[in-house]
Amino acid sequence: MTEKPWLAHYPPEIPHTLTYPSMPVQEYLTKAYEKYPQKVAIHFMGKELSYEELYQSSMKFANYLQKIGIKKGDRVSIMLPNCPQAVISFYGILYAGGVVVMTNPLYTEREIAYQMKDSGARAIISLDILFPRISKVIKETDLENVIITGIKDYLTFPKNLVYPFIQKKQYGMTVKVEHRGVNHLFTEIMKTSQPFVVETPFDFEEDLALLQYTGGTTGSPKGVMLTHKNIISNATMCDNWLYKCKKGEETIMGIIPLFHVYGLTTVLILSVMLGNKMVLLPKFDPETALKTINKQKPTLFPGAPTLYIGLMNHPDIAKYDLSSIEACLSGSAPLPAEVQEKFEKLTGGKLVEGYGLTETSPVSHSNLVWGERKKGSIGFPYPDTDCKIFQTGTTDPVPNGEIGEIAIKGPQVMKGYWNKPEETAATIVDGWLLTGDLGYMDDEGNFFIVDRKKDMIIAGGFNIYPREIEEVLYEHEAIQECVVAGIPDPYRGETVKAYIVLKEGYTVTEEELDTHCRENLASFKVPRIYEFRKELPKTAVGKILRRSLVDEEVSKQNEAIPS
């Protein structure tokens, strides 16, 4: 068996091995500022920041963090949608010597409390409209400082005056932040702080840049420890894979959330690394996205299948010019071939599927953007990335074409799970990251996924873990048994379905269960479908057969398709 057969199919422009500069992630912003001070770094709903402004703002934020006591290695959470403050905070935390903890702004109090307690975060930067959620759980955590900002803070006139009224209409609330010694206003920091920091000692191999939480089939989310080396290695790999792109000349569309590690690497970090412009949108709205693409002319568009599907299905898509798009790397979920073909026809650019995990910073594989690709494949491993298919439960390789567990080795593989040495040891064995995903490799080195992690649901690009939802459902007094599964969905890839057995003498409606779940789970985790049953299929030892329910659903959907 040839070692790394994929290397023979690399185009000459992609090196087999790369050189990674031993410097902290934030140093790329310093270099971009020095080289392109007046170039636009961020476009946000009409507002633009140059690299000089981004650098100065990040240094001011870092200075403020150090003044309030943030030291090297302290965790600081960012709970923001895509906006300039998210980028400023990210680099500011790193300049201050801290570790970034990205937090999904859709999280409920329960989820915020867990992540803050587990990470030990000492400060959090969040939107004004999210402040009530944080205030309800702050006493359960180590949070000492809450820094508040608003979307309007980085809007141009008159949008900044109109937005509070839109916010009040959308959310039914106007937020007034009370100063209790722990709350700080982002706008005031930018006015009063100085762009100077006290430099801290730095270890490229060992120092954490990011604590990125990912779900787990065993229950509670785990903090993935990503070092400066991990992140710089992966961004450098992405840069070399996109070898036709010109430094300082590209515009990157930033719709995919920056709080997701894929958006963080391919939009926030890669843009600054190359001195490009990032165009940020705080949420995905197809019409707004189409208008922005039409006007801003992005050349690179990292995303997920649901984003591309949402744009293609817009009734007025013919009105917009998408021809500026040259390359799209699709991640987070399998990319249907028909979506790929239709989007490429619309834009004239290339849309290719990649693969990775939070644990790999995140990209490990991709189809060639400019070259041959195999239908249904996740492509080749990146430079300096080794990948093997092991017999499940072992580290014994299987022959080409045989299905086994995908295992990855490379400089982008995480340091481990935060405060979980046993789970780290079970996941990284002899330097190999055991992904839990099943797949195979063909003779040319193309890799194929045949099944995702056993129970994980991937809906709209979000990783959703059934056990977490089941635990919330079991808290309802009417539920005797439940199981949650991902069933096929043409738009989201999969959708969340809950199968429920009620206690004798109890009744509950779908609406009541929906309300219960929304109080305890982020909206993307809430079941879309509820089915009430008298019993659930089980093994002889009483384990609920989740897979048989999914197979049953697939059979029903197939029967419904006209022959």
Mean pLDDT of the chain: 91
Please, what sign has the CA dihedral across residues 262, 266, 270, 272?
negative
pLDDT band at 339 (very low <50, low <70, confident <90, very high): confident
- 48 pLDDT higher than 90: yes
Question: What is the structure's pLDDT at 179?
Answer: 45
Question: What is the structure's pLDDT at 67?
Answer: 96
Lowest mean pLDDT among 40-54, 90-104, 297-311: 297-311
Helix count and strand count (H, E) for the chain:
17, 26
Alpha-helical segments (H) within 40-185: 51-67, 84-95, 109-119, 131-137, 159-171
pLDDT band at 216 (very low <50, low <70, confident <90, very high): very low
462-560: CATH architecture: 2-Layer Sandwich (3.30)
pLDDT band at 217 (very low <50, low <70, confident <90, very high): very low
Mean of pLDDT values over 542-552:
80
Question: What is the structure's pLDDT at 198?
Answer: 92
Count the Cβ atoms, other than its own, within 10 Å of residue 199. Answer: 8
Q: Residue 349 in contact with residue 328, Cβ under 8 Å?
A: yes
Mean of pLDDT values over 310-319:
90
In angstroms, what CA-CA distances link 94 with 118, 214, 327? 20, 21, 30
How far, rounded to the nearest angstrom, does the alpha carbon of residue 395 sit from its chain's CA centroid? 29
Distance between CA atoms of 468 and 447, rounded to whole angstroms? Answer: 30
Strand order in the sheet with 277-280: 47-50, 40-44, 277-280, 251-254
Question: What is the structure's pLDDT at 195?
Answer: 94
Q: Give the H or E element holding residue 441.
A: strand 432-441
DSSP state of 181: S
Which range has highest mean pLDDT (170-179, 477-486, 538-547)?
477-486
- 171 pLDDT higher than 90: no
CA 80-84-89 angle, 5° bins: 65
In angstroms, what CA-CA distances link 424 with 19, 33, 184, 416, 434? 27, 38, 37, 5, 10
pLDDT band at 220 (very low <50, low <70, confident <90, very high): confident
Can you tell me whether residue 106 is helix, strand or coil? coil
pTM, rounded to two decimals: 0.86
Distance between CA atoms of 338 and 308, rounded to whole angstroms? Answer: 11
Distance between CA atoms of 106 and 544, rounded to whole angstroms? Answer: 30
Percent helix / strand / coil, the chain, rounded to 5? 35, 25, 40
Distance between CA atoms of 257 and 281, rounded to whole angstroms? Answer: 9
Q: Which residues contact 250 (CB under 8 A, 6 or more apart)?
A: 274, 276, 277, 299, 300
- Supply the Cα-derived Rg of the chain in whole angstroms: 23
- 27 pLDDT higher than 90: yes
Mean of pLDDT values over 298-324:
92
pLDDT band at 149 (very low <50, low <70, confident <90, very high): very high
Give the residue among 75, 170, 67 at the shortest CA–CA distance from 120: 75
Mean of pLDDT values over 468-492:
88
pLDDT band at 161 (very low <50, low <70, confident <90, very high): confident
